[in-house]
Amino acid sequence: MHRRTVLKATALSAAVGGSVGMNPGVGDNRCDCPAPQPEREPPAVYDDYETITVPDDHDTIQAAVDAAEARTLVLVKPGIYTEAVQVDTPRVTIRGLNRNTVILDGEFERTIGIVGLEDEVVVENMTARNYREHGFFWTGMEGYRGSYLTAYNNRMYGIYASGAVYGRFDNCYASGSDDAGFYIGHAVPCHAIMSDCVAEYNGLGFSGTNSGGRFTIKDCVFRYNKAGILPNTMASVEEPPQHKMRIENNEVYANNNTESPSRDYAFMAFGTGIMVAGGDENEILNNEVYDHVNFGITISLMRHRGWWLPRGNEIRNNEVRESKRADLALTMPNGGGNEFANNDHSSARPWGLSRGIPGAGLGDPWVTTVYLNQMAQVETDNYPEGDWRNAPHPDRKQSMPDVDAPPGEAVSR
């Protein structure tokens, strides 16, 4: 995404006062759908399917996938598989028999553990580590799911979906990625759920550029990253601005990790639990957010080929505490209509933000100043970051409860 270029453009434009308009292109790509999910039935299972076992039937996962037709379950026995798998057959499920001992290893040479390129590719119950880009990746499809996956020490993203709709990540773990542990982006309407996942020791716990519309992140834990959850707007990818994501019932804490791997982009949000960067109409509800050196929840402007001013975001019923600067924060300038209400907190920038004080909706330039300080460190290439190859290894994670279950569709529509 050429983020260094983006940042330089940002700093330069800020320095000269900016020459482009506010929220360019807004209105062109708006999703009419709401942020939350509709009630859905469980996804349908396949009545008849084939099973291919690795390494009994094929030595490698790639060979098994190449041999698979639609509605095939690829069962992988415990072992370390030093390969990069590309799935270009639809309706294939790849399932490890044990999450902790079925391991794809990139050995710091290969780029992606598994990449799904066709509809309804499901990956379950395994680990991917040491890839130069991503652990698990889905792109350009309709229907994807990652369940009971562990991704650690993969350089860019641990578990990643881009330009893909109707998806789900559940019971997954991601650590040691310098951009984000989890990423779901470039999709409107997104029709995606991320639930019961843990992200730690990453640049960002979650990042999602220009994603939204029936998109929910819930019941997850984000800790020990540079920053926790960061939906954001960029003009370089389709469908700006980011809008209509629901973030609810998550535990977000201690995202102040100077030792975690990081890209410049991630460091700019350092010390923040949840930040909406230039996004609109997001719903941040019932989260527990604590122990952040900057701000607990921030609604922030974003500069990328124009100023993206956040507007119409709803921040409600969150418990936010132990933030060193302020529990709740709103940058000045912003696009207006950002509603903070019924949040249990002790401090805010501006003062009175969640207490209905007139004028508080204008925001506080102090919040912008703090992030400008971090931007200055990024611009001079001098900010703390760890090595993604040496990030802490996770302990054993809970495996999928029923590895004998029949495969099925990724998610129901």
Partner 1 sequence: MIDQLQNTASRAGTRLREATDRILDRLRFDHQYSRGSWATVVVMTFLVSYYGAWVLADLGFRWTAFVALLGLNGYVFTRYPSSRAILARACYHGAVFTLLIPFVIWVVYLQSPSGLLRPFSLILTPGDVIFFFAFALVAGLLAGIGRVIGRKQTKA
Q: Which residues bind partner 1 (CB under 8 A)?
A: 224, 254, 256-260, 270-271, 291-294, 322, 324-326, 347, 349, 351, 366, 369-370, 372-373, 375-380, 382-384
Q: Comparing C-alpha atoms, which of 172, 179, 123 is closest to residue 151?
A: 172
Give Cα separations from 234 to 211, 303, 306, 379 (angstroms): 10, 8, 9, 18
Cα 198 to Cα 17: distance, rounded to the nearest angstrom: 40
Give Cα separations from 49 to 95, 262, 345 (angstroms): 14, 42, 52
Nearest distance, CB of residue 409 and partner 1, angstroms:
40
Nearest distance, CB of residue 349 and partner 1, angstroms:
7
Nearest distance, CB of residue 155 and partner 1, angstroms:
20
User: Can you spell out the DSSP letters for 340-397?
Assistant: EES-B-S-EESTTTTTT-TTGGG-BHHHHHHHHHHHHHHHTT----B-GGGSPPP---
Nearest distance, CB of residue 253 and partner 1, angstroms:
9
C-beta of 122 vs 252, nearer to partner 1: 252
Cα 40 to Cα 38: distance, rounded to the nearest angstrom: 6
Q: Comparing C-alpha atoms, which of 78, 58, 77 is closest to residue 66?
A: 58
Nearest distance, CB of residue 198 and partner 1, angstroms:
16
C-beta of 183 vs 270, nearer to partner 1: 270
C-beta of 240 vs 296, nearer to partner 1: 296
Nearest distance, CB of residue 292 and partner 1, angstroms:
7
User: Can you spell out the DSSP letters for 82-112?
Assistant: ---EEE-SSSEEEEES-TTTEEEE-TTT-SE
Phi first, then psi: give them for residue 276, nearest 5 degrees.
-95, 115
Nearest distance, CB of residue 350 and partner 1, angstroms:
9
Give 230: exposed, middle or buried? Use CB within 10 Å, 0-12, 13-18, 19+: buried
C-beta of 77 vs 321, nearer to partner 1: 321
Going across the sheet that includes 157-162, the strands are 85-87, 112-116, 134-139, 157-162, 180-185, 204-209, 227-232, 272-277, 295-300, 326-330, 348-349
Nearest distance, CB of residue 12 and partner 1, angstroms:
13
Indicate the helix (H) or strand (E) that contains 283.
Answer: strand 283-285
Nearest distance, CB of residue 386 and partner 1, angstroms:
10
C-beta of 93 vs 374, nearer to partner 1: 374
Nearest distance, CB of residue 347 and partner 1, angstroms:
8
Nearest distance, CB of residue 294 and partner 1, angstroms:
8
- The dihedral formed by the CA atoms of 23, 381, 264 and 236, expressed in degrees to the nearest 10: 40
C-beta of 19 vs 382, nearer to partner 1: 382
Cα 261 to Cα 203: distance, rounded to the nearest angstrom: 6
C-beta of 215 vs 224, nearer to partner 1: 224
Q: What share of the chain is helix, strand, coil (3-state, %, to 5)?
A: 10, 40, 50
Q: Comparing C-alpha atoms, which of 141, 132, 179 is closest to residue 161?
A: 141
C-beta of 178 vs 379, nearer to partner 1: 379
Cα 9 to Cα 23: distance, rounded to the nearest angstrom: 16
Q: What is the CA 120 to chain-centroid distance, rounded? A: 20
C-beta of 166 vs 253, nearer to partner 1: 253
C-beta of 125 vs 368, nearer to partner 1: 368
189 and 31 Cβ atoms separated by less than 8 Å: yes
C-beta of 211 vs 323, nearer to partner 1: 323
